[in-house]
Amino acid sequence: MVIIGAGPAGLYGAYYAGFRGMSVALVDSLPEPGGQVAALYPEKEIFDIAGLPAVKGQQLVDALVTQAQEADPVFLLGESATDLRSGPESVEVVTDAGTRVRARAALLTGGIGTFTPRELPVGEAYLGRGLRYFVRRLDDLADQDVVVVGGGDSALDWALALEPISRSVTLVHRRPQFRAHERSVTTLRASSVRVLTPFEVARISGEPHLDEVLVRAVTGGEELRLPATAVVAALGFVADLGPMMKWGLDLSKRHILVDRTMRTNLPRVFAAGDITDYEGKVRLISVGFGEAAAAVNNLAPLVDPSLGTVPGHSSDRA
């Protein structure tokens, strides 16, 4: 089988396909496996993985890669799937590198598709000179004055993670309410992070690297000058399914519609993880793992008619 998307759901799907005796190819446009978690949140702690009270994003990805290696998958990294053709007997995936993969079935685990950060309008000139849109290594911001911009989960997570290692952390959000998990908001309120709401960034200045951020109150116009050597703009991302939009899939608001077996409307094509939609859908990594296992077990008879949808127990494996 071929899996498009090497994020958590795709990696777990690769392991499970190997467990069911299939050969697997994994295609992903990113140069490394792990998808959005590895690219954007490697230092972020994740708390809702069964059996792991807390695990950093990169640690989870590393463990998933090790697990997937049991299937001896072919990794086609740095290649975007540009075309998918499915028929009654097989599927074929073509990448932008000209690679053609023929398989008995396909599993789409593309997460949110390709993603680009929403820009901080006043700060683009400082990208690479103090402005960043995500934090790959927390230690890069040790002993710095950091301004985090945003009010979602990522903004609060980074502010709280940087609090013990940065010289100072200020969180700036243009609304009085946050869009983050209640637990994170409560922790933020009890922390030493300076919270400015409703404020927005009016100007970033400094040469050659930034050294000050001017913030302005959304109402009233009060201005504050903040010493800063780093700005983390966590304003969300714009997602795009890209070529998948043209493959003939049934879609709903940039998500692929599936039935309860994780089957799409295309023959031999299944989907799992954040990219899917159905009644009652909950977008969690833990749910994606279960969907990947369900998809692989339901497509197994298409890959090998001698296989059933009931997998048996992994503990019975020699």
Query: Residues 6 or more apart from 317 whose CB is under 8 A from it?
Result: 19
Query: Residues 6 or more apart from 236 whose CB is under 8 A from it?
Result: 117, 118, 150, 152, 154
Q: What burial letters (b/e) apply to 92-111, b meaning 16+ CB within 10 Å?
A: ebbbeeeeebebbbbbbbbb
Distance, in Å, from the CA atom of 228 to the CA atom of 146, rounded to the nearest integer, reads: 6
Determine whether the annotation assigns residue 315 to a binding site: yes
Determine whether the annotation assigns residue 115 to a binding site: yes
Distance, in Å, from the CA atom of 277 to the CA atom of 161, rounded to the nearest integer, reads: 32
Q: What burial letters (b/e) apply to 135-170, b meaning 16+ CB within 10 Å?
A: beebeebeebbbbbbbbbbbbbbbbbbbbeebebbb
* Amino acid of residue 277: D
Determine whether the annotation assigns residue 191 to a binding site: no
The answer, yes or no, to whether the previous bond of 208 is cis (omega within 30 of 0) is: yes
Looking at residue 147, the DSSP 8-state letter turns out to be E
Cα→Cα distances 278→156, 238, 251, 260, 307, Å: 30, 22, 11, 8, 27
- Binding-site residues for FAD sit at 28, 36, 41, 81, 115, 274, 315
- Binding-site residues sit at 28, 36, 41, 81, 115, 274, 315
